[in-house]
Amino acid sequence: MLTVWAILIDGFIYASWLFLVAAGLTVIYGVMRILNMAHGSLYALGAYAAASALGWYYAGGGDQLIMAFVIIAASAIMVGALTGLVIERGLLRLMYGRDEVLMLIVTFAVLLILEDVIKLIWGTTPYSAYQPYAAMGRINIDVLTVSGYDLMVLAVSLVIGVGLWFWLERTKVGKILRSIIHDREVSEAMGVNVRRMFTITFMIGATLGAIAGGITAPIISVVPGLGVEVIVMAFAVVVTGGLGSITGAAVGAVIVGLARATSIHTMPELELFIIYAVMATVLIFRPNGLFGQVIARKI
């Protein structure tokens, strides 16, 4: 019984982290039909920016937890939005209208470039910013202990999920975006500035990736190659849930999170295997993921 509780708690904490990482990816795909391989690099950029900003803050004698969160948010949003803007305006703009697969390769090239940009800026030595994590302490639930910071990640993830849902379903911009998802040409004919919407969407997606990295920075040691590991995980989540669907990303994150936690507590050697096995199994039965739309083939 204890194992079941441990699996549930770990699973949901891991799922909330997965959702944070995957949300930006699925937003960008949903609107722009671009599967952004560079998403992992944006995550890494956010993590590095937050880790070095926190490093300055704590080295300067600061010890306010609230300030630490403001710093994480500000540095991640700044670096994410700026990089997103540069990538979209400088590169993707030249490629619109090409194959989805070609866009996948283009973003793969962006990933390669960003990986080295990160190495050139921050070097190859690991960064760590453990202070906020340590400051939040641990909470006892019966005999299990949970880190306060992990619970905060869960809360942030819920807020971002609900925020995204509200943005897409209840605001004017969201309505416009849904019309673009539905039919790009008709929306353009109705006077929607699709290009500007694309820029906004890409910046928001990129920022979400950077925020995920920034929030994760205190939990991990920030090292080169961070983004490359994360992106495959995020892919597994969005493909399981159905590409381009926020609900799908949330459900996919919960499934993958619980599957991984189950594996860690019962068969740890299958940890990596289980994530992709879940994805492959879902795809066998639902080729477009759990919440994906089937696209009619054109003759």
Partner 1 sequence: MTLEKTEVSLIGVAVALALLSLVAPNWLIFTTTLAISTALVVMGVVMLMRAGLVSFGQGLFYCLGGYAVGLGGRFFGITDALLLIVLGVAVTVGVAMILGLLVTRYREIFFAMLSLAFSMILYGVLVKSHGLGSTDGFGVVDWTILGFLPGSGESSSRIALLMALALALGVALFLNRYFRSSIGLACEAIRENEVRVEYMGISRKQVLYINYVIAAAVGSIGGSLTALAAGHVDPTMAYWTVSGEFVFIAILGGTGHVAAPFIAALIFTLVRTYAIELAPNAWQMILGIVLLLIILFLPKGIWSLFTRKKRVAS
Instruction: Work out how close the CB of 274 gets to partner 1 at its nearest, in angstroms, rounded to a whole number.
Output: 8
Instruction: Work out how close the CB of 68 gets to partner 1 at its nearest, in angstroms, rounded to a whole number.
Output: 30
Residue 113 amino acid letter:
I
Instruction: Work out how close the CB of 252 gets to partner 1 at its nearest, in angstroms, rounded to a whole number.
Output: 13
Based on CB atoms, which residue is closest to partner 1, 19 or 235?
235
Based on CB atoms, which residue is closest to partner 1, 46 or 289?
289
Instruction: Work out how close the CB of 220 gets to partner 1 at its nearest, in angstroms, rounded to a whole number.
Output: 19
Based on CB atoms, which residue is closest to partner 1, 76 or 106?
106
Q: In sequence order, what are the residues at sequence separation of 6 or more whose Cβ sits closer than 8 angstroms to the Cβ of residue 295?
A: none
Rounded to the nearest 10 degrees, how much is the dihedral formed by the CA atoms of 285, 103, 28, 30? -40
Number of C-beta neighbours around residue 146 at 10 A: 16
Residue 249 amino acid letter:
A
Based on CB atoms, which residue is closest to partner 1, 68 or 114?
114
Q: How many Å apart are CA 122 and CA 221, to the nearest integer?
A: 13
Instruction: Work out how close the CB of 139 gets to partner 1 at its nearest, in angstroms, rounded to a whole number.
Output: 32
Q: What does R_g of the chain's alpha carbons equal in angstroms?
A: 19
Instruction: Work out how close the CB of 13 gets to partner 1 at its nearest, in angstroms, rounded to a whole number.
Output: 21
Based on CB atoms, which residue is closest to partner 1, 174 or 286?
286
Based on CB atoms, which residue is closest to partner 1, 33 or 179?
33
245 phi, psi to nearest 5 deg: -115, 125
How do 144-147 and 138-141 pair as beta strands?
antiparallel
Q: What stretches of the chain adopt beta strand conformation (E)? A: 138-141, 144-147
Rounded to the nearest 10 degrees, how much is the dihedral formed by the CA atoms of 124, 214, 165, 177? -50
Based on CB atoms, which residue is closest to partner 1, 77 or 230?
230
From residue 9, alpha-carbon distances to 139, 148, 278 in Å are 12, 13, 20
Q: How many Å apart are CA 150 and CA 241, to the nearest integer?
A: 23
Instruction: Work out how close the CB of 48 gets to partner 1 at its nearest, in angstroms, rounded to a whole number.
Output: 14
Give the residue carrying structure tokens 């040691």: 221
Question: Is the Cβ–Cβ distance between 279 and 240 less than 8 Å?
Answer: yes
Residues that bind partner 1 (CB under 8 A): 35, 91, 94-95, 99-102, 104-106, 108-113, 115-117, 119-120, 124, 228, 232, 235-236, 239, 243, 269-273, 275-277, 279-280, 283-284, 287-288, 297, 299
